Amino acid sequence: MTDVSLAELLASIEPLAHGADEGSFRVRAIPGYERHYVGRNAAGQPSLLLGSAAGVFHAPVRLAMLEARFGNRHRIHPVDGEQREELLSVITCTSHDAQAQAYFLHVCSTILRILGPIPSLHDIVQVVQRLIELFRRLARPASRSLNGLLGELFLIAVSRNVEASVAAWRSSDIDRFDFSVGNVRLDVKASAERLRAHHLSAEQCQPPTGTIGLLASLFIEGSGGGQSLRELVAAIEAALAGRDDLILKVQETIAESLGESLPTAMGARFDDRLALASLRFYDLATVPAIRGGVPHEVSQVHFRSDLSRTEPLSGTALQLISETASQFLPR
């Protein structure tokens, strides 16, 4: 794995001369991955170029912000070498937005580590498909609030076991609970009003037989001097060093949650000290809720539950309920 960021490498690459062939790229080899390059196409757009042996033909993909071509011959103009043709798979960010380009390069760093220095064309196609799906999500509206996502990510970042917490994290926005592992079902509720009054569902307050339902409540409040979403994600990714599969899961889940608002949302800041000081855990079996008297034919019952008179669980009590749940406690 190279210590040089793709963004830094790209910044050192001058665009091709005006009138260069459309299929040409100005590139630098990526240290530690000499068969792979980062560069700019004839239009100056950032590209990741991945070398592999020849393989079965795969159709190109074109999205609003991304293009991918697999296993074609391309003319490259290395900054420190002679121009030549090579068999390469090329992924290009076609957005002109600087933040979108920066995020593209950030995710490509993860893709690069997963693929390694000598991938097959099949491996490239499989992994790049995940990048393609991630960018499809960036073309959709946000599916949940920024505050809600910040609450989940903050819980992961401060937890005793970041790796286990990410592994337990939801894979889609339709999951009933934010975290699910063993017999534990945990939902995170973030309030911007310093009130522990949260929207819950009847199903959440009656978790499946044999499981324990928990609620993590915390205050997420905007703060110009606080931690940014970008910094929060970077801290999680640093804790996941060596687990690029989980890093990619974090990036995919964030993209699904924030959609088209992701590039600008990365700079949003919140009061991380308030978030930590306000973090409390509750047994969902004890929070005010609608549990009985709902006909079997009625579903998706939602309500606002005020926890101001509900006793939170201490760390010791949480461990007694479930040793598995203790992984979510702050360090």
pLDDT in tens, 90-119: 999 999 999 999 999 999 999 999 999 999
Q: Same domain, yes or no, for 222 and 129?
A: no
Domain closes at, from 86, 118, 137: 137
Which residues face 30 on adjacent strands?
33
Residue 32 lies in a domain: yes
Q: Same domain, yes or no, for 218 and 272?
A: yes
> What domain range includes position 228?
146-328
For residue 3, the model assigns a pLDDT of: 59
Residue 228 identity = S
- On whether the CB atoms of residues 315 and 326 are closer than 8 A, the answer is yes
Residue among 210, 216, 194 nearest 327 (CA): 216
pLDDT band at 242 (very low <50, low <70, confident <90, very high): very high
For residue 157, the model assigns a pLDDT of: 98
Does 1 have pLDDT greater than 50? no
- On whether the CB atoms of residues 103 and 263 are closer than 8 A, the answer is yes
Query: Three-state secondary structure along 122-188?
Result: HHHHHHHHHHHHHHHHCCCCCCCCHHHHHHHHHHHHHECCHHHHHHHECCCCCCCCCEEECCEEEEE
Q: Same domain, yes or no, for 226 and 295?
A: yes
Residue 286 identity = T
- The vertex-31 CA angle with 26 and 36, nearest 5°, equals 50
Of 22-26, 234-238, 247-251, 258-262, the poorest mean pLDDT is in 22-26
Residue 1 lies in a domain: no
Task: Give the Cα separation of 51 and 45 in Å (integer).
Answer: 19
Query: What's the mean per-residue pLDDT of the chain?
Result: 93
Task: Give the model confidence (pLDDT) of 66-88 as tens digits.
Answer: 999 999 999 999 998 899 999 99
Domain closes at, from 112, 137, 162: 137
Q: What is the pTM of this model?
A: 0.90
Is residue 224 classed exposed, middle or buried when 0-12, 13-18 and 19+ CB atoms within 10 A define those classes? exposed
Task: Give the model confidence (pLDDT) of 176-192 as tens digits.
Answer: 899 999 999 999 999 99
Q: Same domain, yes or no, for 164 and 299?
A: yes
pLDDT band at 206 (very low <50, low <70, confident <90, very high): confident
Q: Same domain, yes or no, for 120 and 182?
A: no
**Number of domains making up the chain:** 2
Q: Same domain, yes or no, for 116 and 207?
A: no
Task: Give the Cα separation of 237 and 242 in Å (integer).
Answer: 9
Q: Same domain, yes or no, for 280 and 155?
A: yes
The mean pLDDT value for 2-8 works out to: 79
Task: Give the Cα separation of 310 and 288 in Å (integer).
Answer: 8
Task: Give the Cα separation of 59 and 89 in Å (integer).
Answer: 11
Task: Give the model confidence (pLDDT) of 148-160 as tens digits.
Answer: 999 999 999 999 9
More confident residue, 322 or 9: 9
